[in-house]
Structure 1
Amino acid sequence: MSAATAEKTRMRVEGMDCASCATKIENALLRVEGVSEVRVSVPAGTVTVQHAASDVLSMRKRVEGLGYKVLDVGGEGGHAHSQASNHHHSHSHDHRDHGGSCADAGPVARTPWWRTAKATMTIVVGVALAAAFVLGKLVPAVETPAFLAAMLIGLVPIGGRAFNAAISGTPFSIEMLMTIAAIGAVFIGATEEAATVVFLFLIGELLEGVAASRARASIQDLTKLVPETARLERDGRVEEVPAASLEVQAVIQVRPGDRIPADGVIISGESAIDEAPVTGESTPVRKGVEGTVYAGTINGDGLLRVRVTAAAADNTIARVVRLVEEAQESKAPTERFIDRFSRYYTPGVVVVAALIAVVPPLLFGGEWQEWIYKGLAILLIGCPCALVISTPAAIAASLSAGARRGLLLKGGAVLEEVGRIQVACFDKTGTLTAGKPQVTDVASFGVPEEEVLRLAAALESGSSHPLATAILAAAADRSVVVPAATDASAIGGKGVRGTVEGRLVFLGSPQAAEELTPLTEQQKTLIAAFNEVGKTASVLLIDGAPAAAIAMRDEPRTDAVQGLQRLRDLGVETMMLTGDNERTATAIGRTIGIRVRAGLLPQDKQQIVSGFRNGGKKVAKIGDGINDAPALAAADVGIAMGGGTDVALETADAAVLHGRVADVAAMVELSRRTMGNIKQNIGVALGLKALFLVTTVAGITGLWPAILADTGATVIVTLNALRLLRAPK
């Protein structure tokens, strides 16, 4: 099917709570004519189908025929692979487009678990079972028919789902095994037990649904952080409008204590912003003009005017939710292995159950009823639900937990890979450093420091040059009142000059200053010392006399030292790869404690990363997601660092949305915790099955414990995976 005729449809499905559900839906949809690919995410409750035009109705019918409820259908026609080129390497994550569907516009309201069809059916069967028990005690003659009726109330819909699954390509579903076991139990006279097993199966399904909805809610809760209304400035007045209606470039007011309704940039005001709901950062961040704010964060103590930079469907939270849901649809290597294993496991257990039921009576004179009963019990152990959900449940919980802390991973494969990295190669500018120069020193040659900043800021007013911005920020930090400059003009490559309060002022490079007036040896030595530690020095002249040297540098991020140490504590080697000059890079490297390779071209960085990989090491490349694409592509995992830009989110395998170096280590820790959780889950799933297999054959346990071994293990595994939603202490 060509990309031109392909459509992609996303359905939100209710009642899809375990991995066998996913298998049934996938097999059924792949049999619909025109369907070429199906991605099912149990944790997100979504099914994404790539198909030829106009067969959405038949797909919907096929899903609902299996006993599930399709809540809504969203589509995106004609460009199923339109952004595949954005994904720079296929070994780390699946190629898929990131276009939105109408399902992305917001989560669909879900039915509370106690009002679902599953809950209703469980209650009805429970009441019928209790009634059968009471009737049996009062009128023994009707005991068997009463239990049979109670069983059939639950088994008829289960049998219907089993039949639909079988004709749709899944003959060995839990419903089929359940139906055979219950009918078999009736034939050998265990009607009461058959009815109880059906009831226990329904309780197990209900518990699975509750656990799955908890996992689902964790990421969707993020969308509830954005307020429903916003205060929009329009035609000189402020009016309240729905936050979803805000357009890019609109100006909104945010009062102290209010949640910020959109991503934007502050155009006036200053306030402490509580970003904990979105980033997990416990300390409020002080932000002023030109500061970036995110939807869902809380304005602290000042009135802010904010220019909107992203519409509701594209704000950071909406994009994170969308990307996490897509990530949950892609399978991790462990998950793919478990899927393959389960394809053979269930038929294998069915064969073992049949042999146990038939061989001892035929060859060894065993009691037929006893061994058939054991065979039926083993049949119930044959469902691989707990085993198959063990991996996706843990990965979904981790992807959600990571997203809530600004750690975005594009799928299970990336999540697995991050925990294995042995070398982390960082860019410098904007990754290990803040990405913009700051004034670090004001070395006065006899003029007061405040006066130096006052005159320098006067010359730089209105300039957007990074060094000018640094001087203006330093003056603002110290509450310096900046006078006006007249006749201010830039001298190409040298500096800027003008008249301030009747004095001729020049600010420029030391070389340009020396052309105008000689500097003393002491002044030159001081400037050289600044250069040695990677700082850029500018000299201020007042009426032709040297007044001061102002040193600036792109300073390391505040958590760089701690973040790099956390990586080393995890056994990950760290290295800085930068195109910057050797002196500046080495100075920063010394400050934060990292090995440095400087003066590199993009291809040099790619070669270094490839060299590590050829040496058998797993490498992560951490950059801003825009530059150094070759090195990001060459790495096992490419991690974009920074403020959730479109490019960073779409191109890298993973993104640290809030620009903290320590978050790279947090990503590694999250991955390792997840893999540990998956191993625990697989151990529980297989361990319980093995235990009940042995005890069933030995005659210690029967049908009831067998069904508990399956549904109980599924619930235990899911709840264990949900522990990953909690951030580590």
Structure 2
Amino acid sequence: MGKITSVNTLSPDITCSDCSGSAVPASDPDDDSDSDAQHEGYRWRISGMDCPACARKIETAVGQLSAVTEGRVLFATQKLIVKASEDVRVQVEDAVRYAGFSLTRSGTPIKQIEPAGFWWENRTLILFALLLLASWLIQSVSAQAGQVAFTLTTLFGLWPTGRRAFRLIKSGSPFAIETLMTLAASGALLIGATAEAATVLILYMLGERLEAFAAGRARRGVNALMALQPDTAVRLQGERRETVAVSSLNPGDIIEVAPGARLPADAKLLDTFASFDESALTGESMPVERQQGEPVSAGCLSIDRPVRLTVTSKPGESAIDRILHLIEQAEERRAPIARFLDRFSRIYTPAIMALALLVALLPPLLLSADWQPWIYKGLALLLIGCPCALVISTPAAITSALAAATRRGALIKGGAALERLSAIRTIAFDKTGTLTAGKPVVTTLIALNEEDVNLLLAKAAAVETGSSHPLARAIVARAAELKLNVPRASGQKTLIGTGIEAIVSGHTLLIIAPGRLTPNRLTEQQSAQVFKLESAGNTVVVMLEDNQPIGLIALRDTLREDAKATVDELRAMNIHSMMLTGDNARAAAAIAGELNIDYRAGMLPADKVAVIAELSHQPLAMVGDGINDAPAMKAATIGIAMGSGSDVALEAADAALTHNRLNGIAAMIRLSRATHANIRQNITIALGLKGIFLLTTLLGFTGLWLAVLADSGATALVTANALRLLRKN
């Protein structure tokens, strides 16, 4: 069941492809004073769509309104966008409500809506399961009473499904999955297969709830992305500070961001220097230093001190909004995912129903045959046409495969993702946090004055103790790992934009980036050592004692232990691997060289999407862990997230490695290929048996009880075949 939680009008200068919720001010839905220009387009935020088929139902229902010129549902960001020649908000909401989706104009942000509890969300399924269990128990005591119990149980399940099917028929979707299930269960009831009718309904309801769960997870991922942008900002008016809504910020406004807070908008730095954690947007684990006048994106985290900035982005056009827009564009470039049964029912169900009706009517009417035998044959054909085995064949295989994948630490979000995995021929990896561990470690220490390297590290740890900088933590962690005796430091102070300084054992120690040293401060040999370390993909800092260089410390984000084995395994499966990263070319080349794969460096989220589009001539998977990877995941044939990644990456992806091990990728692909073959086998079994019994029934060789066997027997066979996937390694 869907739910529309807010409605906005689109101003005429904003196209319908825009996706930022804050770009368009909320309007009063009951205000009829809107101008004609405002009637050009409207936007709703939808929650609760179970699958892309729901999106198609909403589009069909809205498209039947005469004043609507275009209605589109953006499934990735749960939005409905409608263009119309007049104000159609009331008509659109009525049409969507009648199609089976509840809606409200509250305008409450999704992230503030309390989710319904497990029992409440699944109350119908739980009650139906209890009734089904009671019916089985009654039947074990009395067959006649059991028949009545199963009938009542089926009618209980048919009521919501049949009512929605009826409404969808009137809304322009006559052969939706609800219609298919209503016909299947009703047909089974007509010939007395009441237990089978109830079983089909509970399998259908279970599948719907699983899809609703996956959709809910995806909504939380988009909300997590939106949450990177704070709701309020501190705006400076001379010496006065005021807290304002982010939507009220305009280019030119001066804002202040506290340490540990995120930027509410794209801005330029006013202070001389400042450090920012941009990992949420770029995936780069190392904090970056920005100088006065340099741009900083919304969502970045201020690290070491309060900073003042000038806003450069308009409301709804920040880096966060642009990523949301990229996700929507990537979703639109792919054809909507239609479930197999929903597509097949458009031909199969009406054809079988029409054939059953013709068999029951034509011989008595045209040939004066007896009515009872031909009605009997029509009912037998109706049962043969009951798609129970087909309904079960695909979900049974998918459920078994998903269960097998989950036990092995892989979460695959639905059958469509599982099927697409089987076709993958190229895999693009993000670097930081995916191919690498995502945490810098000390790799090399070089003493420039012949001092013991352990003493050098102990001094560095003394200076860095207490700092929250990732490089500082890496140095302190390495000293602790070696159980070094770290001396006490005093007078610690951070030199903004330069380094960190402290007094240790009476000497002034400074740890600084090589690029911040005055020219010719290092000898040619020392500069060559720095260049060599950086060329190997390291971040290098220099330690000075009393203004004299005494050591070099190299830190690096190390390769995952299973990265090389995973790439080799994929290569053996004829799957090509490449790396897309926002890191500099030298760091990227070092990692790619170890893995013997292609790479592209210095990539922003839009650049990654462009590369995916460039390679879209073949099925491609994108593997990542950061928010910056989400648009590329959506643009790819399938997105795979690392279990340690951001919430947005996990929810935007079609699959996730919950155990956070890369070797799960090859296992997922092998499982998906086996599942694809299993589904083809199940469909062949189901349709093959139906075809045989269809012919024998028309010829008079088989009767109603064998028609039941055609369906229940096929159901048992395809279920047993699907269960084999549980044993796949």
- Alignment partner of 1:454 out of 458, 465, 489: 458
2:295 corresponds in structure 1 to none
Question: Percent identity at matched positions?
Answer: 40
3-state SS of 1:342 partner: helix
From the superposition, tell whether residues 103 and 710 of structure 1 become closer, same or farther in structure 2 (CA, over 3 Å).
farther
- Distance, in Å, in 2 between the alignment partners of 1:582 and 1:128 is 76
Mapping of 1:133-172 within 5 angstroms? none
3-state SS of 2:438 partner: coil
Report if the CA contact (8 A) 2:200-2:388 is conserved: no
1:282 corresponds in structure 2 to none
From the superposition, tell whether residues 591 and 98 of structure 1 become closer, same or farther in structure 2 (CA, over 3 Å).
farther
1:202 corresponds in structure 2 to 195
The TM-score with structure 2 as length reference comes to 0.58
1:174 corresponds in structure 2 to 184
1:468 corresponds in structure 2 to 472
The TM-score with structure 1 as length reference comes to 0.58
1:496 and 2:500 are equivalent in the alignment = yes
| Pairwise CA distance, 1:384 | 1.3
3-state SS of 1:609 partner: helix
Bigger mean CA deviation after superposition, 572-581 or 456-465: 572-581
- Alignment partner of 1:342 out of 345, 361, 365: 345
- Distance, in Å, in 2 between the alignment partners of 1:492 and 1:115 is 64
2:575 corresponds in structure 1 to 572
1:555 corresponds in structure 2 to 558
3-state SS of 1:426 partner: strand
Report if the CA contact (8 A) 2:537-2:591 is conserved: yes
Report if the CA contact (8 A) 1:394-1:678 is conserved: yes
- Distance, in Å, in 2 between the alignment partners of 1:567 and 1:106 is 44
Q: Which runs of 5+ in 1 are unaligned?
A: 13-21, 40-49, 64-73, 84-96, 131-148, 183-197, 221-330
Report if the CA contact (8 A) 1:8-1:51 is conserved: no
Measured against aligned partners, the alpha-carbon deviations of 1:395-452 in whole angstroms (never above 9, x if no partner) come to: 4555566567664555544443343333222222233222232111233454333322
1:608 corresponds in structure 2 to 611
2:115 corresponds in structure 1 to 101
- Distance, in Å, in 2 between the alignment partners of 1:9 and 1:692 is 44
RMSD: 5.3
Q: Which amino acid aligns with 2:478?
A: A
1:309 corresponds in structure 2 to none
- Distance, in Å, in 2 between the alignment partners of 1:685 and 1:213 is 21
- Distance, in Å, in 2 between the alignment partners of 1:206 and 1:552 is 60
2:679 corresponds in structure 1 to 678
From the superposition, tell whether residues 345 and 558 of structure 1 become closer, same or farther in structure 2 (CA, over 3 Å).
same
From the superposition, tell whether residues 51 and 622 of structure 1 become closer, same or farther in structure 2 (CA, over 3 Å).
farther
Report if the CA contact (8 A) 1:621-1:639 is conserved: yes
- Alignment partner of 2:422 out of 416, 419, 423: 419
- Distance, in Å, in 1 between the alignment partners of 2:604 and 2:48 is 42
Report if the CA contact (8 A) 2:510-2:545 is conserved: yes
- Alignment partner of 1:117 out of 108, 131, 139: 131
Report if the CA contact (8 A) 1:426-1:577 is conserved: yes
- Distance, in Å, in 2 between the alignment partners of 1:386 and 1:80 is 44
2:705 corresponds in structure 1 to 704
- Distance, in Å, in 1 between the alignment partners of 2:599 and 2:536 is 14
Mapping of 1:3-152 within 5 angstroms? 3=7, 77-78=104-105, 101-104=115-118, 116-124=130-138, 127-129=141-143
- Distance, in Å, in 2 between the alignment partners of 1:693 and 1:626 is 53
Report if the CA contact (8 A) 2:359-2:375 is conserved: yes
Aligned length in residues = 532
1:692 corresponds in structure 2 to 693
Bigger mean CA deviation after superposition, 527-536 or 168-177: 168-177
1:231 corresponds in structure 2 to none
- Distance, in Å, in 2 between the alignment partners of 1:610 and 1:98 is 35
- Distance, in Å, in 1 between the alignment partners of 2:643 and 2:136 is 49
From the superposition, tell whether residues 619 and 501 of structure 1 become closer, same or farther in structure 2 (CA, over 3 Å).
same
Report if the CA contact (8 A) 1:532-1:587 is conserved: yes
Report if the CA contact (8 A) 2:393-2:679 is conserved: yes
- Distance, in Å, in 2 between the alignment partners of 1:361 and 1:727 is 53
Q: Which amino acid aligns with 1:174?
A: A
| Pairwise CA distance, 1:364 | 8.9
2:389 corresponds in structure 1 to 386
Mapping of 1:520-539 within 5 angstroms? 521=525, 526-539=529-542
Q: Which amino acid aligns with 1:177?
A: G
1:283 corresponds in structure 2 to none
- Distance, in Å, in 2 between the alignment partners of 1:162 and 1:466 is 58
3-state SS of 1:483 partner: coil
Report if the CA contact (8 A) 1:219-1:400 is conserved: no
Q: Which amino acid aligns with 1:341?
A: F
2:86 corresponds in structure 1 to none
3-state SS of 1:464 partner: coil
From the superposition, tell whether residues 556 and 158 of structure 1 become closer, same or farther in structure 2 (CA, over 3 Å).
closer
From the superposition, tell whether residues 461 and 398 of structure 1 become closer, same or farther in structure 2 (CA, over 3 Å).
same
3-state SS of 1:480 partner: coil
3-state SS of 1:434 partner: strand
- Alignment partner of 1:432 out of 429, 435, 444: 435
- Distance, in Å, in 2 between the alignment partners of 1:219 and 1:380 is 30
2:663 corresponds in structure 1 to 662
| Pairwise CA distance, 1:99 | 6.0
Q: Which runs of 5+ in 2 are unaligned?
A: 9-28, 30-43, 74-88, 170-178, 214-333
From the superposition, tell whether residues 394 and 700 of structure 1 become closer, same or farther in structure 2 (CA, over 3 Å).
same
| Pairwise CA distance, 1:534 | 1.5
Q: Which amino acid aligns with 2:620?
A: V
Measured against aligned partners, the alpha-carbon deviations of 1:498-525 in whole angstroms (never above 9, x if no partner) come to: 321234434334566797976584x555
Q: Which amino acid aligns with 1:378?
A: L
- Distance, in Å, in 2 between the alignment partners of 1:658 and 1:82 is 32
| Pairwise CA distance, 1:490 | 4.1
Q: Which amino acid aligns with 1:202?
A: A
| Pairwise CA distance, 1:723 | 5.4
From the superposition, tell whether residues 119 and 639 of structure 1 become closer, same or farther in structure 2 (CA, over 3 Å).
closer
1:619 corresponds in structure 2 to 620
3-state SS of 2:623 partner: strand
1:597 and 2:600 are equivalent in the alignment = yes
